[in-house]
Amino acid sequence: MKPFQLSPHERLEPGEAELINELIPLLKKLIEKSHLAGTTYRDTHAKGHAAVRATFTVEAHLPPELKVGLFAKAHTYPAWVRLSNLSPEPQKDKKKDIRALAIKLMEVDGERLWQSEPGARTLDLIMMGSQTFLAPSLRDFYQLESALLKGGASVPWFFSTHPWIMKTIVTGQQKTANLLRIPYWSQTAYAFGDRVVQYHMEPHETKSKFPRKPTPNFLSERLKEDLGSGPASFDFMVQLRPEEPPGTRKKYPVENPMVAWPRRPRYEKVATLTLLKQTFDTSAQMQFCENLSFNPWRTLPEHRPLGAINRARLRIYPAIAEFRHRRNNVTVWREPTPEDPTFGPER
Q: Is the peptide bond before 265 cis (omega within 30 degrees of 0)?
A: yes
Q: In this predicted model, what pLDDT tens digit does every residue of 326-339 receive, in sequence order?
A: 887 776 678 998 87
Q: Is residue 250 assigned to a domain? A: yes
Alpha helices in the chain (DSSP H): 16-34, 138-150, 154-161, 163-172, 218-229, 283-291, 308-327
Instruction: Name the pTM for this structure.
Output: 0.93
pLDDT given for residue 345 in this prediction: 39
* Nearest by Cα to 70 from 109, 101, 103, 104: 109
323: in domain: yes
The reported pLDDT for the residue numbered 41 is: 56
**What is the domain count for the chain?**
1
Q: Is residue 85 part of a domain?
A: yes
In this structure, the number of other CB atoms found within 10 A of the CB of residue 202 comes to 15
Within-domain flag for 269? yes
* Structural domain includes residue 21: yes
Pairing state of beta strands 190-192 and 195-203?
A: antiparallel
**Are the C-beta atoms of 255 and 130 separated by less than 8 Å?**
no
pLDDT at 115: 94
Segment (H or E) for 82: strand 75-85
Give the span between the Cα atoms of 198 and 84, in whole angstroms: 21
Q: State which residues of the chain have pLDDT below 70.
A: 1-4, 34-45, 88, 247, 331-332, 341-347
Q: What range defines the domain where residue 108 resides?
A: 16-327
The per-residue pLDDT for 230 is 96
Q: Which CATH number do you get for residue 219?
A: 2.40.180.10
Residue 336 lies in a domain: no
Residue 32 lies in a domain: yes
Asked whether residue 271 is assigned to any structural domain, the reply reads yes
Interval 279-299: pLDDT, tens? 998 888 888 888 888 999 999
CB 200 within 8 A of CB 185: yes
Give the C-alpha separation, 112 to 298, whole Å.
6
